[in-house]
Amino acid sequence: MILNVSGRTDIVAFYSTWFMNRLKEGFIDVRNPFYPSIVSRIYMSNVDLIFFCTKNPIPILDKLDKINKKIYFHVTLTPYKKDIEPNVPDKKKIIEAIKELSRKIGKDNVVVRYDPVFISDKYNLEYHKRAFDKVCTLLDGYINKIIISFLDEYKNVKKNYNALKYRKFTEEDYKEIGLSFSSSAKKHNMVVHTCFEDNDLTEYGFIKDECISKELAFKLTGKVYKEEWKARKERKCHCVKMVDIGEYNSCKHFCKYCYANYDTKKVNENYLNHDSASSLLIGNLNNHDIIKDRKDF
């Protein structure tokens, strides 16, 4: 089993103490986002790999030696300022944290996501080209791979249009990004790729690949994962099957482009309802819950 921590919220940044408590206890409970009374119980003994996704790895850096599982990190590092990412720490600190991660677990196990890319009058093409080149320069020797994706018009994205002020990409925009990003990555011995993007930019030197492909899953775990992640089938994602332990509307970064937060009031309620001693990320079990062991492996 591959544990996704998490595509629904930033557990590393805001709930790492809870996660470490769950590792110690040996199991995690996850409510079904569509049927809340159904709770999946995941035993850590069934986990082959922990796939961390975060904008801020700092809170877990000093805990890595206590994790007795294989781990793989995606760290999202984008050039946006507080108008777009109000609660993300200073990017210089994130850069240093990525370097520390690389030293601790090896650069093959740390991937940077420059994600999502959108363009506006403020964050124009020249801005992105300079920012991406700077990321590559600062992380030269610490990572091998950068993944990029482009802004999707989720409901929350449309709601935040006045803050984002994004415009549609043209084919010339894609070409300019493709050529510039490829050149920067190559100059610093990195590969840059997209995952399930309509504009995969392969003609400009990008690689089209999954975030966790079957080949990568085998390399990381030594196990063959035949099934694809059905939860993302509609997005044409061919990553291997994973189990996400997060909960929507619980990330305090409040990024304007976020797909997982769509109710600010609910985010604050959920955060206050978090109990680091609970088996659930948000709230606690009750008498009406139906617990089912999850055995996806």
Which tens digit of pLDDT belongs to each residue from 135-175?
Answer: 999 999 999 999 999 999 988 899 999 999 999 999 999 99
φ and ψ of 66, to 5 deg: -95, -5
Q: In this predicted model, which residue has the larger pLDDT, 232 or 122?
A: 122
pLDDT at 247: 95
pLDDT at 228: 77
The stretch 189-194 carries a mean pLDDT of: 96
State the Cα angle at 186 between 4 and 55, rounded to 5°. Answer: 30
**Whether the predicted pLDDT of 295 surpasses 90:** no
Strands 38-43 and 290-293: parallel
Q: Please name each of the domains of the chain with its CATH number.
A: 2-293 (3.20.20)
pLDDT at 222: 94
The stretch 227-237 carries a mean pLDDT of: 63
Helices 171-187, 125-138: axis angle to 10 degrees equals 20
**Whether the predicted pLDDT of 7 surpasses 70:** yes
What is the DSSP secondary structure assignment for residue 62, as one 8-state letter? G
Q: Classify residue 106 by burial, with Cβ atoms within 10 Å: 0-12, 13-18, 19+.
A: exposed
Computed over every residue of the chain, the mean pLDDT equals 94
Give how far Cα 18 sits from Cα of 110, 252, 275, 294, Å: 23, 16, 8, 20
Helix (H/G/I), strand (E/B), else coil: 41: strand
Q: pLDDT by residue (tens digit) across 77-119?
A: 999 999 999 999 999 999 999 999 999 999 999 999 999 999 9
φ and ψ of 286, to 5 deg: -130, 175
Tokens of 239: 């990553």
pTM of the model: 0.95
pLDDT at 236: 62
**Whether the predicted pLDDT of 235 surpasses 70:** no
**Whether the predicted pLDDT of 227 surpasses 80:** no
Rounded to an integer, what distance in angstroms lies between the CA atom of residue 117 and that of residue 192?
Answer: 14
Q: pLDDT by residue (tens digit) across 241-277?
A: 999 999 999 999 999 999 999 899 999 999 999 999 9
How many other CB atoms are there within 10 angstroms of residue 189's CB atom? 11
Rounded to an integer, what distance in angstroms lies between the CA atom of residue 184 and that of residue 168?
Answer: 24
**Whether the predicted pLDDT of 233 surpasses 90:** no
pLDDT at 181: 98
Rounded to an integer, what distance in angstroms lies between the CA atom of residue 15 and that of residue 3?
Answer: 15
